[in-house]
Amino acid sequence: VGGGTEGALPGILLSLAMTLGMALLTVISRRHRHVSMIPATGVSAIQLAIIGFLMTAPFAVPAHEIAILAVFAIVQAPSFALYIEGARRLATAQAALISALDVPLGPFWVWLIVSEIPTLATVIGGAVVLAAVLGDILRGMLAERARGRRGIDRQR
């Protein structure tokens, strides 16, 4: 089953808002490196849970879906906290590239867990993002290795 286009605009706008929010969060984390963002991350998770509870009919959700959401929350919250802590120690562009891994990995996890087959456009877009992230990591490793060799050559 591929993704449809019905009602795509609200999803696209939400995706844009989330991307801008992550960019802002990364910049704030870098700007205020001396401040741990873990408490703010926890408070925001609680606030979002309350807002979600108030905006939906939570008791109309089947128990197995609540279990899926609980597992998602248990996995997502620590991984997000780790990203926030790591973003303080990386260059902003590197942190943004790492957060972009959500694009290719999200559909992969959905395919793996729910058996929803991604569209060809999704696979191609994910491959482009994944290649960019891996290319940046490789470029950084090669640059680090070159700096190390120049230091050894200078000592000789």
Question: What tokens appear for 106 in the block?
Answer: 């999200």
For 69-119, what is each residue's pLDDT tens digit?
A: 888 888 887 888 888 888 888 777 777 777 777 777 888 888 888 888 888
- What's the confidence (pLDDT) of residue 1? 43
Cα distance between residue 137 and residue 133, in whole Å: 6
Nearest CA to 87 among 77, 78, 76, 98? Answer: 98
Predicted confidence (pLDDT) at residue 120 exceeds the cutoff of 60: yes
Residue 75: alpha-carbon gap to chain centroid: 13
Nearest CA to 101 among 72, 75, 134? Answer: 134
Give the count of alpha carbons within 13 A of 55, CB side only. Answer: 6
The reported pTM is 0.57
Predicted confidence (pLDDT) at residue 2 exceeds the cutoff of 70: no
Predicted confidence (pLDDT) at residue 4 exceeds the cutoff of 80: no
* DSSP per-residue codes, 27-52: HHHHHTTTS--HHHHHHHHHHHHHHH
